[in-house]
Structures are given as structure tokens and as C-alpha cells.
């Protein structure tokens, strides 16, 4: 609808955000985490994918850099506040450790320093054998954080 009816309020903002999203993300914060990593030039991770090691299912992980075996998990407040989720997470991370899968946990307070998150994930990717370009914080990065355009009212329909 936003592409066909650009006059609608919010259409411009939606069109700007849409390329950053994937239908596999389970939360806005997962999408935000993925978007900052990709905007800085890191490889695009797989989203909410089943991790299988040695023919054995380990977990469905938030983000997976499959070429390097690095898992990145977003830990929202429900992981801290919900007892059942907390217990599930303990078992889940134990499974990752047993399978010797490297992982990074990112929290909402960490996302408030997106460059630091990108640099941390890059450091872990390098430790896992990544030899691609280092993160860059150029035009693509700045565009991600630029204020969303305000749609001008239009009478054309």
C-alpha cells in the first residue's frame, strides 16, 4: 500500500524502514540488531534459524553468521523477568557451550551504543575466522540513524 499510495501518512517512513526488515525476525529489537550489523557492512546473518551441529539440533537462534558459526542473541527484558524463559535460556546456552558454538548476547542497554555492539560482534566474527572488511560507519550507517522524513500532506490520490 505504501508504494502504491505514497500520499498516505507515514508511507515515506515505511518505505525507508522496509528494506531493513525480514519476515523471519520475531521482535523489533531483533530487527534493529540485524539492521545495525548490516548497515555497518558486516555480513547479513540468517535470522531465527535452526542450528544443527553434527546432525544434532541445538537451538533456534536469533542471528547466525553461518559461514563462521557465530550466534548472536538478543536478550530482551522477558529473558530476565520471566522465570520460565530464564530457565529455558540457561539450558539453551548450556547446549551452545556443549556444542562449542561461539555466541554473543546483546541486551537493550547495549543497543544504546550501536557502534560498540557492531565492533564487539565484528571482534567475535574475526575470532571465528572472518576475514572480510571491518565495519564502516559511513553513509549507509548514517542513513539508518537519520530522522525519518515527515510526509508532506498531499491531496493527490
Could you confirm whether domain 26-145 is CATH 3.40.960?
A: yes
Dihedral class, residue 40 (left if φ above 0, else alpha if ψ from -120 to 50, else beta): alpha
Q: Among all chains, which residue has been given the C-alpha cell 523477568?
A: 81
- Structural element, H or E, at residue 94: helix 83-98
- Asked if residues 53 and 95 have their Cβ atoms less than 8 Å apart, the reply is no
Task: Going residue by residue through the chain, which has 157 residues, state the pLDDT in tens, using 9 for 90 and above.
Answer: 546 665 665 555 554 555 555 556 657 889 889 999 999 999 999 999 999 999 999 999 999 999 999 999 999 866 566 788 888 889 999 999 999 999 999 999 999 999 999 999 999 999 999 999 999 999 989 988 887 666 555 555 5
pTM (whole model) above 0.85: no
- Asked if residues 107 and 18 have their Cβ atoms less than 8 Å apart, the reply is no
Domain layout of the chain by residue ranges: 26-145
CB-facing half-sphere around the CA of 148: CA atoms within 13 A: 12
- Asked if residues 104 and 64 have their Cβ atoms less than 8 Å apart, the reply is no
Amino acid at each position: 500500500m505504501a508504494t502504491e499510495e505514497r500520499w498516505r501518512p507515514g508511507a515515506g517512513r515505511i518505505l525507508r524502514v522496509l528494506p531493513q526488515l525480514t519476515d523471519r525476525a520475531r521482535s523489533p529489537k531483533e530487527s534493529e540488531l540485524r539492521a545495525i550489523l548490516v548497515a555497518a557492512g558486516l555480513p547479513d546473518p540468517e535470522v531465527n534459524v535452526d542450528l544443527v551441529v553434527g546432525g544434532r539440533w541445538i537451538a533456534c537462534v536469533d542471528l547466525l553468521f553461518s559461514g563462521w558459526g557465530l550466534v548472536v542473541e538478543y536478550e530482551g527484558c522477558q529473558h530476565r523477568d520471566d522465570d520460565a524463559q530464564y530457565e529455558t535460556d540457561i539450558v539453551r546456552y548450556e547446549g551452545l557451550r556443549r556444542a562449542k558454538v561461539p555466541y554473543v548476547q546483546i541486551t537493550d542497554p547495549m543497543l544504546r551504543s550501536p557502534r560498540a555492539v557492531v565492533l564487539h560482534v565484528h571482534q567475535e566474527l574475526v575470532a571465528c575466522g572472518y576475514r572480510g572488511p571491518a565495519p564502516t560507519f559511513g553513509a549507509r550507517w548514517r542513513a539508518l540513524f537519520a530522522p525519518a522524513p515527515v510526509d508532506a500532506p498531499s491531496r493527490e490520490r
